[in-house]
Amino acid sequence: MSESVLVVPLLVALLAFAAAAFDAVLAASAAGSPGAWRVWDAPLREAARLLVRQRRNTLAADRLLRRTGIAVLPVAAVLAAAVLPLGGADAASDSSIGIVWFNAAEVAVWAGVWLAGWSVNSAYSLVGGYRIIAQGLAYELPHMFALITVGVGAESLRFADAVSAQHGLWFAVQMPVAFAVYLLSALAMAFWGPLASPVGRDLAGGAMAELSGADRLVFLAGRYAMLAVAAAATVPLFLGGGAGPLLPAWLWTLVKTLAVLAALVWAGHRVPVLRMDRFMGFAWTVLIPPTLLQLLVTSLIAL
Amino acid sequence: MWRDAAFWILAVLSVGTGAAVFVVDSMARATFALLASFLCVGAVLLLIDLHYLGVLVVLMMIMEMLVMAVFMIMYMMNPAGLMPMTMVHNHRNALGISAGVFVLLAGGILTVRWPHREGAPPADPTRALGEALMGPKMLVMMVIGLAILATMIASVVLATHRGRYDQDEHEHEPQPQDAHEHHAHEHHGHGGAA
Amino acid sequence: MNLETFLLLAAALFAVGLYGALSQQSVVMLMMGLELMVNGLVVAGGAFWFYVAPGSADGQVLVLVAVTVMALEMAMGFAVVTALFRARDVDVTDDASDLKG
């Protein structure tokens, strides 16, 4: 425990805002509006608009579960961020099982989305809720193998040990397959871009179709926060943490995080949404064998 | 001190949400009440330094309960609990038996003289667990692995559409002229998988 | 917080689960009862490790086995329910009582 307990939620919020702002800028530039960078404050205006908007109530909705599900997203993002090392400073909670903790917090997102989809008693939302489970089961196995590979390479489940194990060579170079799989599952954690079908346009917004007002704001904020945290975790896991020339460690961590986050947001605009059944088949038949091979190679090196 | 308070709060919550599973009408609420019970137990494990196992319980149970929710809704006739109904049999006896079992266990727990603590927790219980599993308890790990493999195969075989006897799927495609007969066939002739 | 309180918690969870396993008609709810019983076992295993023999990892291994058993029980349970449902449209134990023996 340290003073960073207070800093972490703030950092997550700032990163989430950065992601949302970049997303808005990319959308504006794709729409061809001149001076797209000027819409950077669109998320703030959207937040204000949602805050004054009335909450939509559906028939026979399960309010308790809806509130729980929506609140789970930002809470899970902050909990996942709590174990990440912040460059020079210690993590908010330097847990010896940080990687497992991160995994658990990120799985909680499935529960949040499913609850949000189920509880509003609407068909499109429910389908969106089911899609997150299918998607979760598809990406989780390769994702877990990627995390285990890092754990084996670092010979520890602590994020700080993973960082110090990369002094010689970044894990992104040592275990490229795990890195690629992790980036894919970072998109899946925030159901973003090609893996956004739980909230897909074909379902009129899927799990968040019926959410409006403050509910929608918290849900969207939690989603951007999860994307930001997934990007931030890439840095200690694969990109050597705060290591880098000249600049201080915290600044390198920030620069790398923003670079990964920007790449993820950009990918969300460039890649079409995948169909869930195709992704499931791809994840289980194509992704799992190379991640297992990568794990084997890393284990042999570690021995 | 705070550990004691946390333990009692978590204990009451875990038993309370566990009981709520069989009280609430909505299947989604029942599933997530069970999940809440597991999360409390995971937190209790964290209190006694079992960090890895505590987080593992949380991780596995979230995934397991989400899969469970899918099946609950698939198989229950009233998943959202919009029409309150009870689906219990033998209610009174079950209540009596479980209360009796609890009293018996509690009596045993309070009267038995438990052995004193031997040794101290290792600095890293996770490492101790891993070394035990890869060393003296290797057999347990192997049995677990085999059991998981066997379960994977058995559950796929049981649940697959073709059943145990590996009939060709197309045999059951309804022919245009005997669509009605086919329906009856599905219900009576396809019992092999049970 | 000592061994007795942990075991009492375990016994309470076990008893609640036993009630569910005995009283519920739906196979899925019955499995929830079984899961709660194993949950009690998890608490007991952890408590034995911490309060009786923290030096050896036996208690931890027990917890790990219990967690695995939960997952396997659920997978097999749902497979059986699916097979049963496919074969005769039942998900209630009383309708499958001819399977006993």
ipTM, interface predicted TM-score of the complex = 0.86
For residue B185, the model assigns a pLDDT of 44
C40 Cβ neighbours under 8 A, 6+ residues apart:
C9, C10, C11, C12, C13, C14, C17
H or E stretch including B42? helix B27-47
Cα–Cα distance, B174 to A45 (Å, whole number): 57
- Round the CA-based radius of gyration of chain C to a whole number and report it: 16
User: What pTM, to 2 d.p., does this model score?
Assistant: 0.85
Chain B contact set for C92 (CB, 8 A): 87
CA of A107 vs chain B CAs: smallest distance (Å) = 7
Range(s) of the domain holding residue B47: 1-79
Least confident of A111-115, A218-222, A247-251, B169-173: B169-173
Closest in A97, A101, A108 to B62, CB measured: A108
Closest in A68, A97, A130 to B52, CB measured: A97
Mean pLDDT confidence for C84-95: 72
- Domain-located, residue B179: no
Asked if the model's pLDDT at residue C18 lies above 60, the reply is yes
Asked if the model's pLDDT at residue B166 lies above 60, the reply is no
Could you tell me if A137 and B70 are in contact, meaning their C-beta atoms sit under 8 angstroms apart? no
Minimal CA–CA distance to A190: which of A277, A256, A132, A275?
A132
More confident residue, B32 or A87: B32
According to DSSP, residue A285 is labeled I
Between helix C3-23 and helix B2-20 the angle, nearest 10°, is: 10
C92: which strand partners? C26
Residue A110, Cβ density class (10 Å: 0-12 exposed, 13-18 middle, ≥19 buried): buried
- Domain-located, residue B52: yes
DSSP helix/strand/coil, A89:
strand
What confidence tens digit (pLDDT) does each residue in B76-112 have?
Answer: 766 666 666 666 777 788 888 888 988 998 888 888 8
- Domain-located, residue B92: no
> For chain A, which residues make up each domain, given as ranges?
4-302
Could you tell me if A159 and A218 are in contact, meaning their C-beta atoms sit under 8 angstroms apart? no
Chain C contact set for B11 (CB, 8 A): 5, 9, 12
For residue A75, the model assigns a pLDDT of 92
B55 lies within 8 A of chain C by CB: no
Place of tokens 């993002």: A77
CA of B108 vs chain A CAs: smallest distance (Å) = 36
Please indicate whether, in this complex, the C-beta atoms of C23 and B90 are within 8 angstroms of each other. yes
Please indicate whether, in this complex, the C-beta atoms of B87 and C24 are within 8 angstroms of each other. yes
pLDDT band at A227 (very low <50, low <70, confident <90, very high): very high
What is the number of domains present in chain B? 1
According to DSSP, residue B171 is labeled G
Chain C contact set for B53 (CB, 8 A): 46, 60, 63-64, 67
According to DSSP, residue C96 is labeled G
- Domain-located, residue B51: yes
Cα–Cα distance, A24 to C86 (Å, whole number): 49
First to last CA, chain B: 54
Cα–Cα distance, A19 to A13 (Å, whole number): 10
Place of tokens 């903790």: A101
Please indicate whether, in this complex, the C-beta atoms of C29 and B57 are within 8 angstroms of each other. no
Closest in C35, C46, C71 to B53, CB measured: C46
Domains and CATH numbers, chain C: 3-90 (1.10.287.3510)
CA of C80 vs chain B CAs: smallest distance (Å) = 6
CA of A111 vs chain B CAs: smallest distance (Å) = 7
CA of B177 vs chain C CAs: smallest distance (Å) = 24
User: Mean pLDDT, chain A, as a whole number?
Assistant: 85
A29 lies within 8 A of chain B by CB: no
For residue B184, the model assigns a pLDDT of 45
Minimal CA–CA distance to A111: which of A138, A139, A132, A140?
A132
For residue A8, the model assigns a pLDDT of 83
Task: List the single best residue of C14, C48, C63, C69 to mutate versus B (max B Cβ within 10 A).
Answer: C63
CA of B176 vs chain C CAs: smallest distance (Å) = 22
Least confident of A16-30, A80-94, A113-127, A255-269: A80-94
More confident residue, B26 or A228: A228
Residue C89, Cβ density class (10 Å: 0-12 exposed, 13-18 middle, ≥19 buried): exposed
pLDDT band at B150 (very low <50, low <70, confident <90, very high): very high
pLDDT band at B176 (very low <50, low <70, confident <90, very high): low
More confident residue, A31 or A226: A226
Closest in B29, B62, B67 to A104, CB measured: B62
pLDDT cut 70: percent of chain A above it: 96
Which alpha helices (DSSP H) does chain A contain, by range? 4-30, 42-52, 63-81, 98-119, 123-154, 159-164, 171-174, 176-189, 214-238, 249-270, 276-282, 288-302
Give Cα B66 to chain centroid, integer Å: 11
Asked if the model's pLDDT at residue A38 lies above 70, the reply is yes
Residue B126 dihedral angles phi and psi, to the nearest 5°? -60, -45
For residue C21, the model assigns a pLDDT of 87
For residue A205, the model assigns a pLDDT of 81
Could you tell me if B38 and B54 are in contact, meaning their C-beta atoms sit under 8 angstroms apart? no
Among A181-185, B93-97, C87-91, the range with the most confident prediction by mean pLDDT is A181-185
B161 lies within 8 A of chain C by CB: yes
Chain C residue with Cα closest to B129 = C57
Chain C contact set for B71 (CB, 8 A): 28, 78, 81
